Amino acid sequence: MLCDFIALLAPLLRILVVPVLLVLLLIRLLILLLIGLLLLRLLLRTLLWCVLLWGLIIRVRLAGPLGVRGSGLVIGGLGAMLGLLRVLLGLLALLPCLLS
């Protein structure tokens, strides 16, 4: 009796389950696309900061005769470390997507 009932419901369940699974797959793909776009934005922002800091380093080095020669290296080192940290955090955010 129960087997007959399940046999009757199987086509209906198949009709209902397949679209739900497709929607869930589409949602997962959209989430991965959103994460990728956010990481691309982070990378572009990091590159922008590196360019801006590089311009600041050049300005500070040009102001060397005024007594601030060493600050360019300090600002450059801090900018490079912050940029590297942002890239590493972005890669760390990608790790769950790669493991799933």
Give the 3-state secondary structure of 73-96.
HHHHHHHHHHHHHHHHHHHHHHHH
57 close to 72: Cβ distance less than 8 angstroms: yes
**Higher-pLDDT residue of 52, 43:** 43
Q: Is residue 67 part of a domain?
A: yes
- Structural domains counted in the chain: 1
Q: Is residue 8 part of a domain?
A: no
Q: Is residue 25 part of a domain?
A: no
Find the mean pLDDT for residues 19-44.
86
Find the mean pLDDT for residues 19-31.
89
Q: Is residue 24 part of a domain?
A: no
43 close to 87: Cβ distance less than 8 angstroms: yes
* pLDDT > 70 fraction of the chain, expressed in percent and rounded: 64
Residues 51, 36, 20, CA angle at the centre, nearest 5°? 165
Find the mean pLDDT for residues 36-47.
80
Find the mean pLDDT for residues 61-72.
53
Q: What's the half-sphere exposure (Cβ side, CA atoms, 13 Å) at 70?
A: 0
Q: Is residue 94 part of a domain?
A: yes
Find the mean pLDDT for residues 22-37.
88
Q: Is residue 19 part of a domain?
A: no
Q: Which residues span the domain enclosing 58? A: 37-100
Q: Is residue 28 part of a domain?
A: no
Tell me, what's the pLDDT at 27?
Answer: 92
